Each structure stands twice: as structure tokens, then as C-alpha cells.
Amino acid sequence: MTPDLEKEIIVGIVSALFTALFTGVPALLLFWWTWQRDQERLIVQKLVWFATTIDGKRIHLRGASGPQFGILIRNRSLFPVHVSAAGFQIDGEVIQLEHPYFESKMKKNPDPQSNRPYIPDEDADVREVASQASTKVSVYDSTDQAALSAALSAAAEKHRVSAEDTLMSGKVTAMVATETGRIFTSLPFLKGLWRRALEIKREMDGRVPEPRT
């Protein structure tokens, strides 16, 4: 092989590598962005309501059926997402809400003389969460409240803790399903392992505080 031919081969290899690099990286980034664009990404959180007493202590807000709690949904997708179902998993038992109450959507009041700048938008789909928006799901129906209260009481009795402590633990998880069939929870797999490790350590030494969902 002559020196000139060897030089041409080296130049050709280097050129091919640079071409692959500068065309492959943008293609990979485009593929990643397209995949991200098409993914449903919801952040689901368990909402627990508290009240403050006269002496400044925080206590769980309770109703006729027990502690009050709901769900917060944040849509991190690049498109609107429609929620088809919501519920909770309590100590392994999944309870779907029959009558979930979704937060009302507001619109600008067409009446300029009104002292209410915004009014409920009766035509809006409350189950549709816009991109980068959030909504709350509350439990007002007596049947749903009774079902959740019964499961919560059973779990508390089984583990010999209060209903409030059970509610704040990883034994109660908020769940949301979208119309595409995907299910999102307030306790993703890795977070669940971390929480369970803390719970085991707390049971052993009695000093690790309960993490919240």
C-alpha cells in the first residue's frame, strides 16, 4: 500500500465518522423528542386536608365517614389528557370512585358589570387536563366515602395503627387511569421501594418519620 493510498483511506474513514456523528446525533435527538412528545406523563399526588386548631396544631379534616382526602393530577404531557377513572389502593385493595368530583373549569365572565370576573364553564370537559395544567379530584359522594372509609378502617385495624397514620402511609395510594388505558399512581415503583425501606427501618427503631405521598 502506497503512502498516498494509505492517507486517502484514513481521510475517508475520518470523514465517514464525522458524517455519521453529525447526522446520527440530530436523528437520535429527534427520535427522543418525538417519543417524549407522544408520551402521557401525569404526576399523581394524594391530597390530605388538614385543619388548624386554636393552639396551632394540625389535625386531619374529618367528615362523617372519616378523614377527608382526594387526588391532585398534574399533566406534564405535551398534549391534553383525558382522565377516565380515579380511585385509591388501600392496603392492596383497589377502590374505583363511582362518582369522582373533578374541579370545575372557569371562564371569563361575559358580563362586564358583574363583580365576578370568572364563572364556571359549564361546557368544558372537567376530566380533560390541558398540557402543563392540573386538576383536583374530590370525594363527596356518600357511597364512595363509605367504601373508602371501610377499607381504611380495615387496614388500620389490621396493622394496629390509626386511620390517619394509615392514610399518610404508603398503604394508601392514589390512582388515575386515562382513556388510553395507562394507569398512574402516587407511588411509583422506585419511590415505593424507598418508602418501604423507611417503613421497615421505622418499625425497627421507631424513629423514622412517615413519608407523605
- Over the stretch 58-80, which tens digit does the pLDDT of each residue have? 877 777 777 889 999 999 999 99
What CA–CA distance (Å, rounded) separates 133 from 177? 17
* Domain-wise residue ranges, the chain: 40-205
- Over the stretch 140-159, which tens digit does the pLDDT of each residue have? 999 999 999 999 999 999 99
Say which residue the cell 372509609 belongs to. 149
Rounded to two decimals, the pTM is: 0.69
What CA–CA distance (Å, rounded) separates 53 from 195? 29
First to last CA, the chain: 69
Q: DSSP letter at 123?
A: T
pLDDT tier, 124 (very low <50, low <70, confident <90, very high otherwise):
confident
Helix ranges, 136-210 (H): 142-159, 163-168, 189-205
Retrieve residue 105's grid coordinates. Answer: 373549569
What CA–CA distance (Å, rounded) separates 101 from 136? 8
pLDDT tier, 210 (very low <50, low <70, confident <90, very high otherwise):
very low
The set of residues, in sequence order, having a beta carbon less than 8 Å from that of 88 and lying 6+ positions away, is 46, 71, 94, 95, 97, 148, 151, 172, 173, 174, 175
| Residue 138 vs residues 2, 17, 66, 72: alpha-carbon distances, Å | 80, 57, 14, 9
